[in-house]
Amino acid sequence: MQLNSSLTQLERLPLTTDPPTPEPIPEEGEVEREPLEAPRSNQSAIALTNEVNNYCAAAQRVNSLSAQKSEELRQVLLTHRQERQLVILQDFPDPDALSSAWAYQLIAQQYDIKCEIIYAGALSHQENIALVKLTGLPAQRCPLQNLKSKDWSSYQGFVLIDNQGTTSQLVPVVQEAGIPLIAVIDHHSLQGDLKSEFVDVRPGVRATATILTQYLQTGLLPLDSSINQHVKCATALMHGLRSDTNLLMQAKEEDFLAAAYLSRFYDAQLLSAILQATRSKRVMDVIERSLKNRIVQNNFSIAGVGYLRYDDRDAIPQAADFLVTEENVHTAVVYGIVHDEDDELEVVIGSLRTTKLTLDPDEFIKEAFGQDSSGRFFGGGRTSAGGFEIPMGFLSGGNENSAYAKMKWEVFDAQIKQKLLRLVNPRDNPIQPE
Ligand SMILES: [Mn+2]
């Protein structure tokens, strides 16, 4: 992205929480201070001035983009005063999605817009469950079968946050009900033409929580540390931002600036309570299976973990997080068949984690698995992480017979490995017997 390249030259300069001012403003109470004008040659003074100017220009561009987007969003919200909206998250929402949706809900409230935050799958990661419980985050599970009886007439719009509709089973149903798409706010690569009133998709930003924090900061809803709900939402946003940036290690300037703003409001003790959630035995079992089943080729670690329950679905990204820490491994892919016992629903779910800077998870997954018959990709990604979902259609369910279940897994396992290995070992033909 253009913005990023202009920002890289600034990395040597110290980061500040406030937009830089061209003139240094003397601060009160500073007694001893080095004289500002240290002797220096004219040339280096000019170089420094240029650097400061570049820095200001880049920071202004970042600020003006977020200010412009905030203003655009404000106009859209104004035209939808007193309406009801659905905020739809990916089926298995993460802290970035959950916290960003909450911030949107609080912003929309200023315009008398009532939002319901919904997702179709489950909160499977213990940290996500802790986040929702401890902060009172208002997201609700809305399984597909409940939708049939839902009265859609009371909603005037829906909003997608931290996704673009490709990772939610709810979106096609809501579209079919004729509810218009009002806003898309996301940091994943653009997934196609979005017919939405407001679009803010910025793949250069590491977390959707950063974008929402910028909205708060530019005045859509200034946080107030005496309001309990604001403190909790700031804590959730801090958690979202940290978890999407690998604990800020992959954060960029904008993310740090957003975290700096949140640092004035968030509750550090509450955040540490959220982070202390432990792994369940079943998650540990899936990680164990991924270790046992992994094959390592060309620094890729690939593991199929067989069947797992819907509620344990998040064990897959956790296993991928773990496998990528092995020496000589830069990329891990873990997948399994997730089944919902209630409606015999089965879907292959996979996660990719990489530390290789030149590997784009979005491209890799799209190239490996391609598209379905309606042109929809099976997955995508962002920096360092990606995921995929492959519906099993007619082959779904019917696992009373364990030999059949085993055979079905083996076919899917072999097919996925084959598709991945084609990219991992481009010169070998994995189909050929030895
Ligand atoms: Mn995200």
Q: Are 87 and 120 in contact (CB under 8 A)?
A: no
Give 382's strand partners.
385
Q: How far apart are CA 430 and CA 434, in angstroms?
A: 9
**CB-based contact 172:202 (threshold 8 Å):** no
Residue 13: what pLDDT? 36
Q: What is the structure's pLDDT at 237?
A: 98
DSSP string, 314-382: THHHHHHHHHTTSTT--EEEEEEEEEETTTTEEEEEEEEEE--TT--HHHHHHHHH-B-TTS-BSEEEE
| pLDDT in 10s for each residue of the chain, 434 residues | 333 333 333 333 333 334 443 434 434 333 344 444 444 556 766 776 776 666 556 556 667 889 999 999 999 999 999 999 999 999 999 999 999 999 999 999 999 999 999 999 888 788 898 899 899 999 999 988 877 778 888 999 999 999 999 889 999 999 999 999 999 999 999 888 889 999 999 999 999 999 999 999 999 999 999 999 999 999 999 999 999 998 999 999 999 999 999 999 999 999 998 988 778 888 889 999 999 999 999 999 999 999 999 888 889 999 999 999 999 999 999 999 999 877 678 999 999 999 999 999 999 999 999 998 888 899 988 888 999 999 998 888 877 788 999 999 999 999 999 999 999 987 755 455 44
Q: Domains along the chain?
A: 56-275 (3.90.1640.10), 281-424 (3.10.310.30)
**Which pair of structure tokens corresponds to residue 167?**
């990772």
How far does the centroid of ligand 1 lie from the alpha carbon of residue 387, in Å?
12
- Ligand 1 geometric centre to CA of 199 (Å): 16
Residue 139: phi and psi, rounded to 5, are -100, 145
Residue 164 CA to ligand 1 center (angstroms) comes to: 11
Find tokens 């409606």 and name the residue: 343
- In this prediction, residue 38 carries a pLDDT of 43
Residue 433's pLDDT is 47
Taking the centre of ligand 1 as the mean of its atom positions, its distance from the CA of residue 347, in whole angstroms, is: 22
Sign of CA dihedral 353, 254, 124, 347: negative
Distance in Å, CA 206 to ligand 1 centroid: 7
Cβ-based neighbour number of residue 394 at 10 Å? 7
Distance 307 CA to ligand 1 centre (A): 26
Calculate how far, in angstroms, residue 380's C-alpha sits from the geometric centre of ligand 1: 12
Ligand 1 midpoint to CA 381 (Å): 10
**Are the C-beta atoms of residues 388 and 363 closer than 8 Å to each other?**
no
Helix, strand, coil % in the chain, rounded to nearest 5: 45, 15, 40
The whole-number pLDDT of residue 399 equals 79
CA–centroid distance, residue 386 to ligand 1 (Å): 11
Tokens found for residue 81: 């005063």
| Ligand 1 ion: Cβ-proximal residues, 5 Å cutoff | 96, 162, 208, 244
- Phi first, then psi: give them for residue 165, nearest 5 degrees: 90, -10
Angle at 106 between CA 104 and CA 109, to 5 degrees: 105
- Residue 85 CA to ligand 1 centre (angstroms): 21
Whole-number Å distance, alpha carbon 65 to ligand 1 midpoint, is 19
Token pair, residue 156, equals 């005037």
